Amino acid sequence: MNAKLIQLRLPSEERPILRDFYFKARFDGDLTSALTWGMFQYVADIKCRDLDDAFYLSNNPDGRDLSAWFKPVGGHRPYSMSVGDLLLTNHEESYPGKLYRCASVGFDEITDKDVIQAIINVVQREELQDA
């Protein structure tokens, strides 16, 4: 399976409303406002067996060379996958692919077509910048 890691990042602006949107996306799964404020960033491609494998590869607890399976993109420095981060899977094989949010335990599938398209747009913008 191929997955794209899209991480949730809080803008450096110190505005309380942004913090609220960040925490709603991170813990409640309310992604719309975080998308509007550009809080998601496509940071890596992952070749994995399943979602749990993608989580393991992102966190690399053993400190192994995982460059064959985990590739940062766009000059970004991904941090370990955590609650609120997204995985877009098999986007290349079957459009639009499936979107999952890392939850406190496991993953939640995101089925809202507008959110999926917005995340695909985030990925495509980064790919264009990287080209």
Tens of pLDDT, residue by residue over 59-100, are 887 777 788 888 888 877 778 899 999 999 976 666 678 999
Average pLDDT for residues 4-19, to the nearest whole number? 85
* Global confidence as pTM: 0.88
pLDDT at 126 over 60: yes
45 and 57 Cβ atoms separated by less than 8 Å:
no
Number of Cα atoms under 13 Å in the Cβ half of residue 86: 27
Confidence at residue 98, expressed as pLDDT on a 0 to 100 scale: 93
- Is the model more confident about 92 or about 15? 15
Residues paired with 44 in a beta bridge: 5, 72
Per-residue CA distances from 30 to 8, 46, 77, 99, 101 (Å): 12, 25, 25, 14, 11
